[in-house]
Amino acid sequence: GGKSAKERLESLPIVRNTYQESCHFPESSHTHVIIGYRTAPLAGKDLYTLTLIKNMLTASRASALMQELRYSRGLVYGVSGVLQVFSDAGMFGVSTSTSPQQVENVLDIIGVELGKIRSGKFLDKDLQFYKDMTINAKRMYLQSSLAWIDFHSHLNLFDPDWTVDTYLDNINRVT
């Protein structure tokens, strides 16, 4: 019962007429699927929530889409997520590849998992796991000088008080 994933996705605000793209290359046996959404800009408070959503869906073998699409159903080899934020807007996306016959099934599953997060149907322990993972990964990433400069240069343009601790504290505040 209820709406299909496609219907749920189509009920979101439309910025463009297409929110997904599927490409089948003749030399490949797979169809590549990308679903993307416009999001808040770099200085928006949604950055922290979106970071956790991306990680909950795609960041590890324990992530929701890897568990469901790969380990439970064997429909894909891998899933990746992207969160890009710019001065005036951002972009959140999920990409994977599957057999041409399974594209609609994969899209439905992605829609179901997005719906679970949107409706708050995840466990607090899962949220804490992904907060800890996100914080630890950011600390590890910031070990190089280039990463340190890159991290600070973007947000210092919008918030001179921006620090690593601010970022990590805001990740921990997501509920």
* Mean per-residue pLDDT over the chain, rounded: 83
pLDDT above 90 coverage of the chain, percent: 43
DSSP letter, residue 74: -
Quick check: 58 and 80 in contact, CB under 8 A? yes
Residue 101, SS3?
helix
Radius of gyration of the chain (CA): 17
| Pairing of the two strands 90-98 and 31-39 | antiparallel
Residue percentage of the chain with pLDDT more than 70: 82
Angstrom distance (rounded) from CA 136 to CA 133: 5
List residues bridging with 80 in a β-sheet. 95
Distance between CA atoms of residues 55 and 138, nearest Å? 12
pTM for the structure as a whole? 0.79
Residue 91: strand pairing partners: 38, 84
Per-residue pLDDT, 110 = 93
**Residue 125's pLDDT is what?**
75
127-131: average pLDDT: 91
Q: How confident is the model at residue 10 (pLDDT cuts 50, 70, 90)?
A: low
Segment 6-17 shows an average pLDDT of 52
Report which listed range, 19-28, 33-42, 102-111, 154-163, is most confident.
Answer: 102-111
